[in-house]
């Protein structure tokens, strides 16, 4: 296929070579999309606007990597817990040498030398900074400035791009091209706390809940969730971390969300007094910041760090602040288009030799705003982290089965396929099968919180570990329920859930209450981190990729999770799915019962049948 470059040279001296050049170098469309709903094309992108282009090369042995991932994560497999090293993962996903050479030659033909390229450690990603004019020539496309009507955010994007035919099998994806996701935080439902916080009857100081610590929870927790409430409710009272020299938990922050140290101090002084003088490490990625001006304190960042870190003290903790919020202003001459913060974080964490064993992320966007090719490539990156022993926790979204409209009654859930079909809208990255998606509950006793994101992916097929839970749920639905509104064969979310409302936090020096799956995700991550602590303290490996473990527990050891059977998640003009006995697409397999989970985790599931 290298004759394409030779033919280009021949055209300089031989007219006869021209037809061959045209034929052999002909471009073919690699990807095309319909513009996502809510975005308007404003004007052509400035020719000198700089784009940080990422080129993903095919990962040669991803099937083997996935096989290894499942084996080391399946609690019934002999390899369970034998996680891979970074070097072993890199070797499995390294692209073929031919792909590397052909892409390098193509870039060189456009005047881009190899020393201008930045490569991932496995050489499966190439990153370059190039002006719009050059990218348009390389990809035979046109970039425009697009504006999101609701938020006013702007991006430089195209809706289609092409590659020379000989490169089609040697390039998986190129972005930013067709990617319109805004990657928003999931603490957007904090306003639900206003006006609905229940008045607690303190004449009866405790609420009986059999699965809770000592079978009861303080009645105040029905209107004010604190770390003490969560430990009582999820049966974790009295557990003290023992492996602080080995274990590590982290939260991610984006979009100028700053985690304030003074707020963290106030939170601990009020609610976790043993941690009053503690702090956390901050790692700055791609120009990320963490302003300590109280007026800049971020609700999302403060919520995540206060609960993930407050529940796991004294486990070492890290807050990743990643730059790359949408900075482009249509009338500005912004020098770079760096509005893909999650890609920047992934690039960083993939190169960390020993990443934290548990990482919580409360961000995402409608799955359909992320091109399928890119979603699958990002998901493959997350699989690599799972194979290395990292538990990845994602909130499932705050809009039930619907889109970004917080009012279930007015949601208009249309597809982006140009047909404007009504369809449930799942959330990505929660729909990636290699992460654990967390829904939300509220009230005591617990019931499904109606904002809990749940449903079925349109990109990812149902994984094997859901082959019992999901069909069992679907068999309970009346025939024809929501026919055509969801993909019954897709990866289903959430996997588990946790409390997601009336969390007491400190923001900007003030005490407030907040909710959403943003509260449920760090709570779940904290419980997972404590399980990792118990395993590490007993000479075992961390849990790593959680889902095969969770679904084995759900099927065989139901007492290790608190089944939520009441509630639903309305949206798109429907009542949504309902919570029921066993797994459901509102609360997953339910909320954690820490000490029962610990018994199973330490017994490598040999304790399962004792809990039946």
Query: Which carries the bigger pLDDT value, residue 392 or residue 412?
Result: 392
**pLDDT surpasses 60 at 611:** no
Residue 512 phi/psi, 5° resolution? Answer: -135, 170
| pLDDT number for residue 323 | 84
Element (H, E) at 440: strand 436-442
Position 586 scores a pLDDT of 98
- Does the pLDDT at position 14 exceed 60? no
Q: Which of 587, 561, 558 is nearest to 454 (CA)?
A: 587
| 152 marked as part of a ligand binding site | no
- Is 495 assigned to a binding site? no
Question: What does the DSSP assignment read for 311-353?
Answer: TTTTS-EEEEEE-------TTS--SEE---HHHHHHHHHHT-S
Confidence at residue 365, expressed as pLDDT on a 0 to 100 scale: 86
Asked whether 392 and 542 are in contact (CB, 8 A), the reply is no
pLDDT of residue 407: 72
**CB-CB contact of 494 with 441 (8 Å):** no
Residue 477 CB neighbours (<10 A): 13
What are the pLDDT digits (tens) for 296-344?
A: 889 999 999 999 999 999 999 999 999 875 445 555 444 455 457 888 8
Give the pLDDT confidence of 344-382 residue by residue, as tens digits.
Answer: 899 999 999 999 999 999 988 889 888 899 999 999 999
CA gap 473, 291 in Å, rounded: 46
Mean pLDDT of 38-62: 93
Query: Annotated catalytic sites, by residue?
Result: 300, 304, 518
Alpha helices in 220-311 (DSSP H): 227-233, 261-271, 299-310
- Residue 607 is predicted with a pLDDT of 55
Under a CB-based contact definition with an 8 Å cutoff, are residues 343 and 349 in contact?
no
- At residue 421 the predicted structure's pLDDT band, cuts being 50, 70 and 90, is confident
584 annotated as ligand-binding = yes
Q: pLDDT confidence of 256, banded at 50, 70, 90?
A: confident
DSSP structure string for 118-167: EE-TTS-EEEEEEEHHHHHHHHT---EEEEETTT--EEEE-SEEEEEGGG
364 is in an annotated binding site: no
Q: What is the pLDDT of residue 12?
A: 36
Asked whether 436 and 390 are in contact (CB, 8 A), the reply is no
Which pLDDT value is given to residue 196?
64
**Residue 3 in this model has a pLDDT that exceeds 80:** no
Burial class of residue 387, CB neighbours in 10 A (0-12, 13-18, 19+) = buried
Residue 2 has pLDDT above 80, yes or no: no
Domain boundaries, the chain: 3-59+94-180, 185-192+245-611
Q: Within 13 Å, how many C-alpha atoms sit on residue 609's CB side?
A: 2
Q: Which CATH superfamily does the domain covering 185-192+245-611 fall into? A: Peptidase S8/S53 domain (3.40.50.200)
Least Cα distance to 586 among 410, 459, 447, 464 occurs for 447
């Amino acid at each position: 296929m290298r004759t394409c470059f030779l033919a280009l040279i021949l055209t300089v001296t031989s007219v006869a070579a021209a037809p061959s050049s045209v034929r052999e170098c002909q471009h073919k469309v690699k990807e095309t999309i319909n513009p996502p709903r809510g975005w308007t094309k404003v004007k052509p992108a400035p020719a000198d606007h700089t784009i940080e282009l990422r080129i993903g090369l095919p990962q040669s042995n991803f099937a083997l990597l996935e096989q290894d991932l499942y084996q080391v994560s399946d609690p019934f497999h002999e390899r369970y817990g034998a996680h891979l090293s970074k070097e072993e993962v890199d070797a499995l996903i390294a692209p073929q040498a031919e792909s590397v050479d052909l892409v390098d030659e193509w870039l060189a033909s456009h005047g881009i030398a190899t020393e201008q390229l930045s490569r991932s450690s496995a050489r499966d990603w190439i990153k370059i900074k190039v002006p719009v004019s050059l990218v348009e020539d390389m990809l035979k496309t046109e970039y425009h400035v697009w504006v999101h009507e609701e938020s006013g955010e702007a991006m430089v994007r195209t809706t289609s791009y092409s590659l020379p035919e000989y490169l089609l099998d040697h390039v998986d994806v190129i972005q930013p091209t067709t990617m319109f996701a805004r990657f928003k935080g999931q603490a957007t439902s904090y306003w639900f706390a206003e006006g609905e916080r229940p008045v607690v009857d303190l004449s009866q100081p405790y609420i009986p809940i059999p699965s809770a610590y000592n079978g009861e929870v303080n009645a105040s927790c029905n209107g004010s969730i604190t770390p003490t409430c969560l430990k009582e409710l999820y049966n974790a009272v009295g557990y003290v971390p023992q492996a602080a020299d080995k274990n590590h938990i982290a939260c991610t922050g984006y979009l100028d969300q700053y985690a304030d140290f003074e707020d963290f101090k106030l939170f601990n002084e009020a609610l976790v007094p043993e941690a009053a003088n503690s702090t956390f490490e901050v790692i700055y990625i791609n120009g990320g910041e963490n302003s300590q001006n109280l007026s800049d304190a971020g609700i999302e960042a403060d919520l995540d760090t206060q609960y993930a870190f407050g529940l796991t003290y004294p486990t070492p903790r890290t807050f990743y602040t990643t730059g790359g919020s949408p900075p482009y202003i249509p009338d500005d001459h912004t020098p770079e288009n760096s509005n893909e913060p999650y890609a920047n974080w992934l690039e960083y964490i993939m190169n960390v030799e020993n990443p934290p064993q548990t990482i919580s992320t409360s961000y995402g966007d409608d799955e359909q705003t992320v091109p399928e090719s890119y979603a699958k490539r990002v998901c493959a990156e997350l699989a690599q982290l799972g194979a290395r022993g990292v538990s990845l926790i994602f909130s499932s979204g705050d809009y039930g089965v619907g889109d970004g409209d917080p009012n279930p009654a007015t949601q208009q859930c249309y597809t982006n396929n140009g047909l404007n079909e009504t369809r449930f809208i799942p959330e990505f990255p929660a729909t990636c099968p290699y992460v654990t998606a967390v829904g939300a509950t509220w009230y005591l006793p617990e019931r499904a919180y109606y904002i809990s994101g749940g449903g079925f992916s349109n990109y990812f097929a149902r994984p094997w570990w859901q082959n019992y839970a999901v069909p069992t749920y679907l068999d309970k639905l009346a025939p024809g329920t929501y026919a055509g509104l969801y993909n019954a064969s897709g990866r289903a979310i959430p996997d588990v859930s946790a409390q997601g409302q009336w969390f007491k936090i400190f923001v900007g020096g003030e005490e407030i209450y907040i909710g959403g799956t943003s509260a449920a995700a760090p709570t779940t991550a904290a419980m997972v981190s404590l399980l990792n602590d118990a395993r590490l303290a007993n000479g075992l490996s961390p849990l790593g990729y959680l889902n095969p473990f969770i679904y084995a527990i759900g099927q065989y050891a139901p007492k290790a999770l608190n089944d939520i059977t009441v509630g639903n998640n309305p949206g798109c003009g429907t009542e949504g799915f309902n919570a029921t006995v066993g797994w459901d697409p509102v609360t997953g397999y339910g909320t954690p019962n820490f000490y029962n989970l610990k018994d199973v985790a330490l017994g490598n599931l040999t304790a399962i049948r004792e809990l039946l």
